[in-house]
Amino acid sequence: MKEGPGIKNRPPAWMAKVEQLGLFPTPVWTFHLTTEARERVSGELVPLLDRLRPAPAERATDRGWQSPQDLHRQQECATLIGCINESIASVLRYLKIGYDVFEITGCWANVNPPGAAHRSHSHPNNYLSGVYYLRVPAGADTINFHDPRVQTAIIRPPVTALTAANTDQVVVRVEPGSLLLFPAWLEHSVDANGSDSERISISFNMMFSAFAEQLGKPLW
Ligand SMILES: [Fe+2]
């Protein structure tokens, strides 16, 4: 441990050492596509979104647009879905999940023009959620994750500096080609697009197939 109580400053004479455990971590994984894969995904998705979106003259300039939630069934989404499926499989292996049959339950595009934001939310009835970043201009290249431990909001004394140990929000920076995976219950939000161009991301959810039959039995 590099930092912790009694570590940074000179420890008192009685203190042999101090240990700090990070219990019950909340993982957020970022996979990075290669330039080749990223360009291939863009080459497939950009024309698809151009086809699905309202005509330029009819587009709202003050709020975001979301596509239908079945992009994963579109042929143009096949390359991205292949990356997503392999990323999810690797996470399930890492977590030692003993059941690896899953499906993408929804996949949709979010287009945020300058000024558009996305309030805090989670994705119920799924196991994992994720986002792929197609276009993230500077000033619109972050996503916020919010502390899932609701108890920490009850008493929140002032702090002299925000650190990983006391914050209630973590801002994750993303770039074109970033593929995030996180627990579907983890609340997240997107700040207003502070750039002068569109931010485009592809959101998706994953759930275990045949959940009721295979996993939904009581554990006792
Ligand atoms: Fe979301």
Whether residue 20 lies inside any domain: the answer is: no
Between the CA of 8 and the centroid of ligand 1 the distance, in Å, is 38
End-to-end alpha carbon distance in the chain: 38
Whether residue 62 lies inside any domain: the answer is: yes
pLDDT tens readout for residues 95-144:
999 999 999 999 999 999 999 999 999 999 999 999 999 999 999 999 99
Would you state the pLDDT for residue 127? 98
Would you state the pLDDT for residue 169? 96
Between the CA of 17 and the centroid of ligand 1 the distance, in Å, is 42
Cβ-in-10-Å burial (0-12, 13-18, 19+) of 201 comes to buried
Helix runs in 119-210, H state only: none
Q: How far is CA 158 from CA 146, 148, 166, in A?
A: 18, 20, 10
Whether residue 71 lies inside any domain: the answer is: yes
Between the CA of 170 and the centroid of ligand 1 the distance, in Å, is 15
Would you state the pLDDT for residue 1? 52
Return d(Cα 171, Cα 54) in angstroms, integer: 31
Whether residue 220 lies inside any domain: the answer is: no
Return d(Cα 199, Cα 170) in angstroms, integer: 20
Cβ-in-10-Å burial (0-12, 13-18, 19+) of 88 comes to buried
Are 144 and 170 a contacting pair, CB within 8 Å? yes
Between the CA of 13 and the centroid of ligand 1 the distance, in Å, is 50
Phi, psi of 89 (to 5 degrees): -60, -40
Residue keyed to tokens 């959810």: 205
Domain count across the chain: 1
3-state helix, strand, coil in the chain (%, to 5): 25, 25, 50
Would you state the pLDDT for residue 146? 98
Between the CA of 122 and the centroid of ligand 1 the distance, in Å, is 6
Whether residue 6 lies inside any domain: the answer is: no
Between the CA of 182 and the centroid of ligand 1 the distance, in Å, is 10
Between the CA of 174 and the centroid of ligand 1 the distance, in Å, is 15
Which residues form the domain of 122?
A: 27-212
pTM listed for this prediction:
0.93
Whether residue 22 lies inside any domain: the answer is: no
Query: What is the domain-level CATH number for residue 46?
Result: 2.60.120.620
Whether residue 11 lies inside any domain: the answer is: no
Between the CA of 9 and the centroid of ligand 1 the distance, in Å, is 41
Would you state the pLDDT for residue 18? 87
Between the CA of 19 and the centroid of ligand 1 the distance, in Å, is 35
Between the CA of 121 and the centroid of ligand 1 the distance, in Å, is 6
pLDDT under 50 in the chain at which residues? none
Between the CA of 24 and the centroid of ligand 1 the distance, in Å, is 22
Whether residue 70 lies inside any domain: the answer is: yes
